[in-house]
Structures are given as C-alpha cells and as structure tokens.
Amino acid sequence: MVTGRANVVVVGGGVIGLSVAWRTSAAGYDVCIVDSEPARGASWLAGGMLAPVTEAWPGEEDALRLGEASLRRWPQFAAALAAEGTDPGLSMEGTVVVALDRADADQIDVLAGYLRSLGREVRSLRGSELRRAEPGIGSVRSGLLVLGDLAVDNRKLLSALYEAATGRGVRFVRAEAGTVEPRRVQTPSGTIEGDVVVLAAGAWSGRLHPELADRVRPLKGEILRLRARRSSLAPPRHTVRAVVEGTPIYLVPRADGGLVLGATQYEAGFDRTVTARGVRLLLEGAERIFPSLAEYELLECAAGLRAASVDNLPYLGRLSDGVVAATGHHRNGLLLAPVTADTVLSVITGDRPPPEALPADPKRAKERV
C-alpha cells in the first residue's frame, strides 16, 4: 500500500538528514523524512567540534580537503539557519591542542609540521603561553593554537535544523524504514515513494542498503556533559584537546557554562551501554588537562554510534538507481553537514558536486575499495 509520496524521501533525521531536507526543500522540492526518532541519533550526543585541521593526519588528505570545504561553508550555513528563526550556536573561538609530556609534544610537532607543509595556519605555544590563553589548564608541556577549527552546540543545531526544515514544509513520517529500494521506502505502515531516496541513517545505513552492508559500521563513543558550579572555575574558552595515556580527550565549552567531555572510541557493534571504564577514562583524562573539572556537576553520561566507513571518508552521491547516499560521516558528521547538503542537492539537480566531494563518491563501495 502506497501511503505517501514526495520528490525527495530522506531516510534518517539526524544532522545529515535534516540538513539535506532543509536545503532541498529550500530549493523547491517536496521533502519528507522517515525516522521514528528524528533529531537524536549520534547527532544529539556529539561534542560539536568543527575541526578538520586538528583531526587531520598524514595520508588523510581527501578527508582534510572535504572537511575544510565544509568548514568554509559553516559561517554562511549557521547564518542562513539563524535567519530561518533559530541560532545554531556556532563558536568561533578556535581549538588548542595540548601536550602533557615529551612524547605528546613530539606527536603535536608532527601534526604541526604536517599542517604547515599543507599551508595551514597553526601557532605553537609553550606551556606558560597556553596557561595564559586558558588559565584553567593544568601542568602541560606545550601546545598548538588552531584558530580556524570551530565548534557548534549540536543540540541547538538540531533544533535550528528541525525548525528550519519544518518551516520549509518538510514532513516527518515517524516510522522505521526497512530496506531502501529504488525510489521507495518500506515502513511498517506502508510504502513511501519518491523521485529519489536519500539514505542518511548514520550507523544504521549498512543495514538498509546492500551496497553499504559491510561498508558502514557502528563505532561506539561514550561522552559526558558537565556544568560549572558557582564555586568552580569557568569552562575553557577554546575547545581543548589532548591525548592522555593513549585516550584522545576533548573539552568543548557551551555558551551557558556547560562543558562536553568526549569521547571514547571502540568497536562494540550496536551496543550503547555506558561503561564505568569509559566514564573513568574520560574523567581522569580531563582532570589532567583541566583540574577544576573535578568540581563540576556531572549532568549526563551517554554513548552514541558513529557511522564509520572503511576509509574514513563518507559516502556522498548516487548509490544506486534512485538512491543517493549521505552517510558514513564517522567522527565528523556535524562538520560535514553543509558540504553533504550541497553535494546531495547537486546530485538531485544534476549540477556538478563540490570538487572536494568527488573522492567520497559511493562508487568506491561497489569497487570494494
């Protein structure tokens, strides 16, 4: 039984599905989102870093270029969302990466050298300079200041996207989709047909289309939310990142005095249990970087599922007849939302996609690269 029809049927209403739906509806298409629980998923839990440079590593130049192409779009993307009614909470303060000991400092030097070789702007800071920039930082050896890496309040972003999409007439079908077929999506209550189906179901995408079956997998991450108390030091101004005894830790401040502390990363299938070990690793690591955190109120402990791809690039573009992929964003779905929305819109309209998105073409899934 056909229960619905739209030009564009988006499966998944996380940051990616909502961004795609908003942009395509603003371009004049009739759009619906199929999701039993939109504006949640990994997007609800994410830290909010928009950080292609501090996430960069030699050998991942395609990911860096794609991330930078999206970061360049972010100020305009945020302003356009704010103009639709809700400010998504973009912070322009930048990121500091800190090294606790000599081994970390060597790692950071490698990162800095690599970034400078690509012409990216990074400033090396001694421990004392770092503490001047961020007085709450503990005893650290050195660091890097990356002004270009930004942050967004992921929950405000989701509200802004939801409001903007709804305001543009996007309809929501509160249901779970079965396998995505050419130009149609099956749900328990019937079939929804579209000129095109956009697969944006994050970590669940591999279950919904055979081409992605062993290409997109869940990658668990635990993350905590805290808040400064009246008696404690205010959160850092910048996003602060470090690797503490092998665990990457980041602190992302929110405008209301909140602080997001992330994140563990390990393979656990679709399990979303928060483990005592994960919480301990995060809290111990964060206290080494920012000791006053011990006095903060602990508000939330949660675990989310990143959609990991085999090569750390997302799948953006035509996947099969009538199906466009917008998934596999791994650690960078918030960052990559603007360039993803532009890429999907270009596929739908038949325009040229952003050049930086070409390496993310899903045809490599078929080629089993």
Ligand X SMILES: Cc1cc2nc3c(=O)[nH]c(=O)nc-3n(C[C@H](O)[C@H](O)[C@H](O)COP(=O)(O)OP(=O)(O)OC[C@H]3O[C@@H](n4cnc5c(N)ncnc54)[C@H](O)[C@@H]3O)c2cc1C
* Nearer of residues 127 and 221 to ligand X, judged by Cβ: 221
48 makes contact with ligand X (CB under 6 A): yes
Write down how long the chain is: 369
Residue from 194, 218, 236, 262 that binds ligand X (CB under 6 A)?
262
- The nearest distance, CB 92 to ligand X, in angstroms, is 16
Residue 326 contacts residue 344 (beta carbons within 8 Å): yes
226 makes contact with ligand X (CB under 6 A): no
Residue 11 contacts residue 197 (beta carbons within 8 Å): yes
Instruction: Name the one range near ligand X by CB under 6 A: 76-84, 230-238, 275-283, 302-310.
Output: 302-310
Question: What is the footprint of ligand X within residues 338-357 (CB under 6 A)?
Answer: none
* Nearer of residues 112 and 161 to ligand X, judged by Cβ: 161
Question: How many C-alpha atoms does 272 have within 13 Å on its Cβ side?
Answer: 12
Facing residues of 197 across strands? 9, 323
- The nearest distance, CB 250 to ligand X, in angstroms, is 7
- The nearest distance, CB 261 to ligand X, in angstroms, is 10
Residue from 334, 339, 345, 365 that binds ligand X (CB under 6 A)?
334
φ and ψ at 212, to 5 degrees?
A: -100, 5
Largest CA-CA distance found in the chain, in angstroms, rounded: 68
* Nearer of residues 168 and 330 to ligand X, judged by Cβ: 330
Kind and range of the H or E run holding 319:
strand 315-320
Separation CA 134–CA 261 (nearest Å): 17
143 makes contact with ligand X (CB under 6 A): no
Inter-CA distances, 135 with 129, 131, 344, Å: 10, 5, 43
108 makes contact with ligand X (CB under 6 A): no
Residue 264 contacts residue 319 (beta carbons within 8 Å): no
242 makes contact with ligand X (CB under 6 A): no
The one-character DSSP state at 6 is: E
DSSP for 170-231, please give it.
-EEE-S---SEETTEEEETTEEEEEEEEEE--GGGGGGT-GGGTTTEEEEEEEEEEEE--TT
263 makes contact with ligand X (CB under 6 A): yes
Residue from 4, 17, 148, 317 that binds ligand X (CB under 6 A)?
17
52 makes contact with ligand X (CB under 6 A): no
Residue from 9, 10, 15, 32 that binds ligand X (CB under 6 A)?
15
204 makes contact with ligand X (CB under 6 A): yes
Unique residue bearing structure tokens 């993803």: 340
Instruction: Name the one range near ligand X by CB under 6 A: 43-51, 112-120, 278-286, 341-349.
Output: 43-51
Please give the size of the binding site for ligand X, defined by CB under 6 A. Answer: 43
Residue 137 contacts residue 98 (beta carbons within 8 Å): yes
Shortest CA distance to 205 belongs to which of 175, 186, 173, 177?
177
Residue from 8, 64, 200, 357 that binds ligand X (CB under 6 A)?
200
Separation CA 38–CA 24 (nearest Å): 17
Kindly calculate the radius of gyration of the chain based on its CA atoms and give it in whole angstroms: 20
Residue from 54, 142, 292, 327 that binds ligand X (CB under 6 A)?
327
Instruction: Name the one range near ligand X by CB under 6 A: 7-15, 22-30, 131-139, 345-353.
Output: 7-15
Residue from 26, 31, 42, 66 that binds ligand X (CB under 6 A)?
42
12 makes contact with ligand X (CB under 6 A): yes
Instruction: Name the one range near ligand X by CB under 6 A: 32-40, 267-275, 278-286, 343-351.
Output: 32-40
218 makes contact with ligand X (CB under 6 A): no
User: Which residues are at the interface with ligand X (CB under 6 A)?
Assistant: 11-17, 34-35, 37-38, 40-43, 45-49, 176-177, 200-204, 208, 221, 223, 262-263, 304, 306-307, 327, 329-335
